[in-house]
Chain A
Amino acid sequence: MATFVHSLRRVVRRSETDERPDVAERVEVPAALAGQPPLEIAPNDPIIAYFQSARGAVAIDGLELDSPALAALRAAGVKLVVPLVTQGELIGLLNLGSRLSDQEYSGDDRRLLEGLAAQAAPAVRVGQLVREQEAEIRSRERLEQELQVAKLIQQHFLPRTSPDLPGWDIDAYYHPAREVGGDFYDFIALEDGKIGLVIGDVTDKGVPAALVMAATRSVLRAAAQRLIDPGEVLERVNEHLCPDIPENMFVTCLYGVLEPATGRLRFANAGHNLPCVRSGSRVVELRATGMPLGLMPGMRYDEAEAVLDPGAQILLYSDGLVEAHDGRREMFGTPRLTELFAVLGRGERLIDRVLGSLAEFTGGGAEQEDDITLVSLRRSAADHVQLAEFTLASEPGNEREAMRRVETAVAPLGIPPERLERLKTAVAEATMNAMEHGNGYDAELPVHVTVAADSRELTVRITDQGGARPIPEAPAPDLDAKLAGEQTPRGWGLFLIRSMVDAVAASGDERHHTMALTLYLEGDADAGNGL
C-alpha cells in the first residue's frame, strides 16, 4: 500500500471575493515520493471545497468534478484520499494508491485511515503553524536587517557636521522614521566661498530609497561642481536619474547656492517643500517651480533669487514635519510652521522650537511617521563685530589662558558677573575638549578661538584640528550612577558647557571641528542656567 501525506501549504478558507485563481497552491511531496512532480491545487479548484466538506475517506475513481487536481491525483495513481481537516479547515491530504493485493479498500481500512487522519490532522496543523511562525520570524529579522542597512546607507551620506561659516549660524537635524525614508540634506563647498544647500526626499522607504538617495546626492555633488546655475544642476541630476530610477520612485529636491558675504541665494526646486525665510517678524516662502527628479527626462527648473538680510533666517525642511499627524489625524501643516517661525523668541533655537511644537502636536509618544529633516541658516545681525581672535597650543592648562583672553575681549560688553563666570567655564571646558579630543594634546596642533558679538548675542568659536569626527558623547552624567560605580566619575565636560551657555552648536569640515558657544545679550537673564 503506497501511503503518503500531502500537506497543503496555507490552504486557508477563502471567501469568494478574495480568491486569487491565478495563484496555485503548491502541495509538498514527501521525500519518499521524490521524482514525482508536486501536486498543484489552484485555490479555486472545486476539489478543495469537496474535500473540506467530505466526511471521511474519498474514493477518487468515483468522483466526478471538473477539477485539474483530481486529474492529477488520478494520474499519480491515487485511489483513496483521506482529507486532513481540523477545526473545519482542510490542511492536507492523506493519499493512498492501490492496495498491494489490488483489492478495494475495506470498511475497516477506511475506519482505520479516518481514525489516523483525525489524529494526524491537528498534529500536522501544529507543525504547519510552527513552520509559519518560524518563517514569519525570519522575515521579520530580514526586514529589521534591511532597515539597519538603509539607516547605515543614509547616515553614511549625510553630513556629519555643518560647515563653519563666519557670520552665519548653521544648524541641521535629521531623524529617520523606524521604516527609514529617503530624506537627505547636504552642504557643498563651491568656488569663491559659495556654498551649495541641498534638501531632498526620495519617495518610498527602506533600502531602495536609501540607494536612490545616495545616487542623487553623488550626482548632485558632481553637477554642482561643474555647473553654476541651480536650475541647470537639477536638470543634470534629473537626466542622470531618469533612466535608472525604479518605477514609482522619484525625488523631491531643493538646491540653492548661497553667497555668504552678501546673503544672496539662488535656488531651484524640484517639487520639494518650499523653504521659509524670516526677516524681522515677517515669514515668506521661497517659490520656484519644477517637477520632482526622476519622473521624466527633459525637465526645466525655474530659478529664483532671494537675499537673506543681516539677521534673516532660512528654514529648509522635509514633508515628514508638515505631514505629521496628531491623534485626530490632523496634519501639522505649513501654516503652523510659519506662525511659530514668525514668533520665534530672540535667541531661541529654531529647530528646538519646531521639534518641541511637533512633539506637543503629535503627543510625544506617537511613532514618527516619516523621516524629519530640518536645516536652518541664520545670518548674523548687521552690527556683528569680531572682538578677538587668537591661537593656543594644545598644552594642559591652556584652557585657563583661553578663559583670560575671552574675559578681556568681552569686557566692553558689560556682561553681568555671574553670566561671565558661566561663559568662562564653558570656554575652558570647550578648549579642553578641543585640546584633548580634537588635537590629542599634541602641542603642535593649535586651537583657534574667535570671539564675536552683535547687539543680540555673543559667540565664542573654538576650533580644533580633529576634523569632522565629533567629540565622543559621554552618557548624560548621573551622579547616583557615578557614586554607585556604574559610570566613570568623569564625563562632565559637555554637560557643563551646555548648562553654562544659551546655545551650543558643533560644525566642521574634513580637517576642523568647531564648537560655537553663544550667550544671549538681551532678554532672559536666567538663560544659560539650563537645568
Chain B
Amino acid sequence: MPATGFDASVRTVDGRAVIDLRGQIDGSAKDELGAIYERSVLGDAGDVLLNFAGVEYINSTGIALIVGLLGRARAEGRTLAACGLSDHYREIFEITRLADFIAIYPDEASATAEDEKEPT
C-alpha cells in the first residue's frame, strides 16, 4: 500500500467506469482520487461506479472529496453510484444526504444487475 494509505484503480464494465477504492479516504487521498476520476472519464465513459469494498476508513475530509467528485460528475451529466460500503459508511452517506444523489448498491454484482433499475 502506498505511503498515503490510499490506492485506486479503474476498469470499464459494460460501458461504465468502475473505480476500485482501497485504504483510507482522507485528506491525503485528494490528488490520487482526482487523478483516478480524470482517468475514469477519459474517452467519455458514461456513468461512474465507486467501489468502496476495499475502503477501511473515510473521514470528513474524505466526505468532502466525494462531494467534490459528485459535483463534477453532475456538471458533466454523469451518474455516480457506489457499492461495497460498510453499514457504518452507508449510514454516513445517508445522514450527509450523499445517498440522495449517489445510488448505493451492496456490491458490484448488484450494481451491475440493477443497472437499469431503481437502486434498493
Contact = CB atoms under 8 A, between A and B. Distances in A.
A421 B64 CA distance: 20
B100 interface: yes
Q: Does more than half of chain A's interface fall in helix, strand or loop, or is it mixed?
A: helix
Contacts of A492: 60, 63-64, 96
Interface in A454-501: 477, 479, 482-483, 485, 488-493, 495-496, 499
A397 interface: yes
A283 B38 CA distance: 64
Contact of A479 (B88, B92, B98): B98
A531 B64 CA distance: 19
Given A432-B60, A483-B74, A493-B60, A397 B96 contact: no
B91 A400 contact: no
Contacts, number: 67
A491 B64 CA distance: 8
Contact of A397 (B28, B60, B70): B28
Nearest to A480: B97
Interface residues of A, number: 27
B31 to A, nearest CB: 14
Contacts of A399: 59
Interface in B3-20: 5
Nearest to A485: B71
Contact of A418 (B57, B59, B88): B88
A482 B59 contact: no
Given A489-B71, A490-B60, A477 B96 contact: yes
B6 to A, nearest CB: 11
Interface string A399-434: 110000000000000000010011001001100100
B82 to A, nearest CB: 15
A396 interface: yes
A479 B97 contact: yes
B64 A418 contact: no
Q: Does more than half of chain B's interface fall in helix, strand or loop, or is it mixed?
A: helix
Given A483-B101, A490-B64, A492-B60, A425 B92 contact: yes
A526 to B, nearest CB: 12
A397 to B, nearest CB: 7
Contact of A499 (B67, B95, B100): B95
Contacts of A429: 59-60
A490 B5 contact: no
B27 interface: yes
Nearest to A433: B60
- In this complex, which of B5, B74, B92 has the most chain A Cβ atoms within 10 angstroms of its Cβ? B92
Contact of B67 (A397, A400, A479): A479
Interface string B61-89: 10111011011001000000000001110
B60 A422 contact: no
A529 interface: yes
Contacts of A495: 60, 96
A490 B64 CA distance: 5
Interface string B8-42: 00000000000000001011100000000000000
Nearest to B5: A397
Contacts of A490: 60-61, 64
Interface of A: 396-397, 399-400, 418, 421-422, 425, 428-429, 432, 477, 479, 482-483, 485, 488-493, 495-496, 499, 529, 531
Shortest Cβ-Cβ A-B pairs, 10 listed: A421-B88, A492-B60, A489-B67, A489-B64, A490-B64, A493-B60, A479-B97, A492-B63, A489-B68, A531-B95
